[in-house]
Amino acid sequence: MFLGTSLTAGYGLDPAQAYPALIQSKIDSAGLHYRVVNAGVSGETSAGALRRIAWLLRTPPVVLVIETGANDGLRAQSPDSLRGNIQAIIDRARATSPPPRIILIGMEALPNYGPAYAQRFYRVYPDLAAKNRLPLVPFLLAGVAGVDSLNQPDGIHPTAAGARRVAETVWRTLGPELKSVKSVKSEK
């Protein structure tokens, strides 16, 4: 399950071009038997993701990919609030039975709020990953942010080509996790 923002929902793209759908193709090609659930919502902040998580976890996923915070950063919301919301999402996910493996996806704030804010915002993700011993994708839009040809005219949302790059970035962390879950299941 991909809990996320418009970047996960695939804003401006055909749903089959959103990076979670591309991850489904990679899962299928790898012979893994998982179904991707795209729980991305355009405009959602980490507080909104926290409000939805209990409902989403009614059927616990094997792996929960958390991509939230981009809209917090766009609105210059407190990095401490972002940290608290993501930690609460992690805690709720771990309280489900069975608990899912969790992958955290990092985001960066735009530089227009100054270097102090950008650094505090950026640190939320590696700090939470270390504290909770989670695999971390350091930046969802690595290699995509700031590249005109990989972004829609708004300069924020990836094009189909950008989404393919995002899928590769996420797969480098998610693929080994899914394969690890499969091998743990087959050993039982």
Show which residues are catalytic: 6, 154, 157
In this structure, what is the dihedral angle of CA atoms 2, 49, 10, 147, given to the nearest 10 degrees?
A: -100
Give 58: exposed, middle or buried? Use CB within 10 Å, 0-12, 13-18, 19+. exposed
CA-based end-to-end distance of the chain: 23
- What is d(CA 129, CA 66) in angstroms, rounded to the nearest whole number? 11
Sheet architecture: strand order including 101-105: 38-40, 2-4, 63-67, 101-105, 136-137
- In our burial notation (b when 16+ CB lie closer than 10 A, e otherwise), range 18-45 reads bbbbbbbebbeeeeeebebbbbbbeebb
- What is d(CA 66, CA 50) in angstroms, rounded to the nearest whole number? 11
Backbone dihedral angles phi then psi of residue 33, each to the nearest 5 degrees: -110, 75
